[in-house]
Amino acid sequence: MASFEIVLWIYNLSLHLLVTPLDSKFYRFKVEAIRSGNGATILKYLPDRSWVAEQVGMKCFTKEYINQLGKLIELEKPELF
């Protein structure tokens, strides 16, 4: 599966993220910042249509931002869901 780019706004700053689907069966996504060397974050889509982080490599990710990023992923690639 091909990676795609999403821009997330955190603290009035844009964060360009590269999102890579890891597997279609478990709805897991690897999220990496394009311009920084921060670690990757693994997001998982749950059956109740919520998002959780299995592994967080970026300090700025709160529950609110994880859910916001998940909604952006759903809008960008609806065919994955």
Over residues 7-50, the pLDDT tens digits come to 988 888 888 889 999 987 778 999 888 877 667 889 999 989 89
Q: Could you state, in order of their start, the residue ranges of all structural domains in the chain?
A: 4-80
53-78 mean pLDDT: 84
For 6, 31, 34, 64, 75, the CA distances from 3, given in Å and listed in that order, are 10, 10, 12, 23, 15
Q: Contact at 8 Å (CB) between 10 and 29?
A: no
Of the pLDDT bands very low, low, confident and very high (cuts 50, 70, 90), residue 1 is: low
